A and B are shown apart, each in its own frame.
Chain A
Amino acid sequence: MSATARRISELRAEGRPALIGYLPVGFPTVDGSLRAARALVEAGADILEIGVPYSDPVMDGSTIQAAAVRALDGGVRLTDLFRVVEGVADLGAPALVMTYFNPVLRYGVERFAADLASAGGAGLITPDLIPEEASEWISAADAHGLDKVFLVAPSSTDARLASTAAASRGFVYAASTMGVTGERATVGPRAAELVARTRAAGAENVCVGLGVSRAEQAAEVGAYADGVIVGSAFVRPLLEASSEDEGIAAMAAVARSIAGGVRAARTGGAA
């Protein structure tokens, strides 16, 4: 079993969903992103999602776009990604990498998988890769024992939910809504329906992302999902802070609050 799936099932046994936290590598700096990732785990994230900043992030809203621009302007490289993944490997939280696929193609799919595995990474979340285009990645991931996290959306047909669930390992990433990443006032009713449909299509673990930004939302989503994925709400304090230390402290405060929501998800009350 993958480390990610094992972590999710341990938490399920404890009666709560996983908190999966996203931070982009190289933002605010490479060292800053490593410190932020460690702080995020200390504040209660169970699984890390390390983002690769990309020039054309079509699934990202303005917050993560802005962080990616800062990271790329700061000169972040893929070699920094592997260094950060290595730097969080001792925390006990599986580290997945979230990346648009062209950087992987350019690096070489097999080489990327090998380097990610040797850095201690758990696998990839691939927002612009559907299983039909993923044969090279699927082979490499299988060879190196890496998780393959594909996405499903409210628009996915039942047949596609089944094929995507079958191709995934670790969990299936359910987009809560039709749209891009970013904080939203509410997580719509379609998320619960999508999780149920994805489970019915054969997925063991279904985690929900897009729009979750507050403890009450995390509790609401965590009541039915196996994991709650939070990104923009952690990135925004880092964007707005006047220093790296201040940003990490503010991000950790948000994380503790949302971690409280996740822990209250199946006990009847929000944190």
Chain B
Amino acid sequence: MPPSLQNMPGPYFGEFGGRWVPEALIAALDDLSDAYASAKTDPAFQAELAELHRSYSGRPSILTEVPRFAAHAGGVRIILKREDLNHTGSHKINNVLGQALLTKRIGKTRVIAETGAGQHGVASATAAALFDLDCVVYMGEEDTRRQALNVARMKLLGATVVPVTSGSRTLKDAINEALRDWVTNVETTNYLFGTAAGPHPFPELVRDFQRIIGVEAREQVLALTGRLPDAVLACVGGGSNAIGIFDAFLDDADVRLLGLEAGGDGVESGRHASSITGGAPGVLHGARSFLLQDEDGQTKESHSISAGLDYPGVGPEHSYLASIGRAQYEPVTDAEAMEALRLLSRTEGIIPAIESAHALAGALRLGRELAAQGREDAILLVNLSGRGDKDVATAARWFDLVDADADLTEGGAQ
């Protein structure tokens, strides 16, 4: 039997991962690693987290089979893992509750976070409110416009939102600014990193806090269908929802794992956020992984209609899983994602986040391929990582659902 791929420890995943950070952060990363190592085996910590899942965020999240949607995917079975139903509207709460508990454990009183779509920022602001921590969220200025409603949510929860005006003014630059804050204030501050990327221990730690998605889903699919799914699909920006649902299936060799990257206008156009499909190995934000870069190693700007996937890097464990062929990664264009968003809304009454719609578009594509091979009995498990409330303004503009001069509450007219 090959060695298990589940629960892989950092700092390295094959040649990926590590700690490519300033020395000033090493002590804090070591403290966090030590605190996490002791929390991991501390029944009291695990019990507190489990109780928060049960009575605060609403776990376990349910499965929903979507036959009317699946009819457009060649008639295969499609089952959604409903992380969109969590408190705060996405899988991000799973990670921040764990990290907020760790923050208390290491005695820090202030947390910082980066956010793209605002989902992680909202989750962080929520956990900070719950645990009485000061909270500063860094968000690219461009994203504060795209996701104005989430900015208001964070402020309502008591967080300070700092619009980042450097670089491309999106998620990548928000992480840069958060890292600068952390270097400066590391003695009082913990960085609630939002995705399974960054320096060790974040890829391992965030994956561990998200792996409950796959652990639940694997049992639930078995109970519902009597067997494992043929494929598990998830969108990949940094990759936390994807690694969260993949981990429990890594040793099930017959279960195909498919990560859907943001293809923007198409990878061939150069305007995309498909780090694995269209990037090359390098170092960004503390880890060696695939990233979008030019010949001189300058990070290239990513492009996606989805703020949460609009990131030129990806978590190192995904780079590793791609390198050994255990998971495949494919791009989904803005247009494909928006069509999948419309279709799920119309056929099933569920408006997904644009991020998650990339995974749905992947399911439509894969379902049709499998059906063409006579595999209509295939079961596809899709991680519906977030709900689409935050994206209504973007969708309204995309589908031309409002008068051109209407000022939508989210983001306003652009």
Contact = CB atoms under 8 A, between A and B. Distances in A.
Interface of A: 54-59, 61, 65, 69, 72, 77-78, 101-107, 127-130, 132-133, 150-157, 160, 164, 175, 178-180
B180 A58 contact: yes
Contact of B298 (A55, A58, A65, A150): A55
B26 A179 contact: no
Interface in B20-69: 20-28
Interface string B392-405: 00000000000000
A156 B23 contact: yes
A130 B176 contact: no
Listed residue (A55, A101, A132, A160) with the most chain B CB atoms within 10 angstroms of its CB? A55
A212 to B, nearest CB: 17
Contacts of A156: 23-24, 26-27
Interface string B351-384: 0000000000000000000000000000000000
Interface in B159-185: 166-167, 172-173, 176, 179-180, 183-185
Contacts of A54: 298
Contacts of A55: 167, 298-299
Contact of A102 (B22, B180, B297): B297
B180 A106 contact: no
A180 B184 CA distance: 7
Contacts of B183: 58-59, 178-180
Contacts of B268: none
B296 A127 contact: no
A250 B298 CA distance: 30
Contacts of A152: 23
Interface of B: 18-28, 166-167, 172-173, 176, 179-180, 183-187, 280, 282-286, 293, 295-299
Contact of A130 (B21, B28, B173, B180): B21
A249 B136 CA distance: 41
Contacts of A102: 282-284, 293, 297, 299
B26 A56 contact: no
Contact of A160 (B18, B22, B23, B297): B23
Contacts of A69: 166-167
Given A102-B282, A102-B283, A130 B296 contact: no
A20 to B, nearest CB: 18
B174 to A, nearest CB: 11
27 contacts: A55-B298, A56-B173, A56-B284, A57-B176, A58-B179, A59-B22, A59-B180, A59-B183, A77-B296, A101-B20, A102-B284, A102-B293, A105-B282, A106-B282, A106-B293, A128-B22, A151-B24, A154-B24, A155-B25, A155-B26, A155-B27, A157-B27, A160-B27, A175-B23, A179-B183, A180-B180, A180-B183
A58 B26 contact: no
A104 B20 contact: no
B298 A72 contact: yes
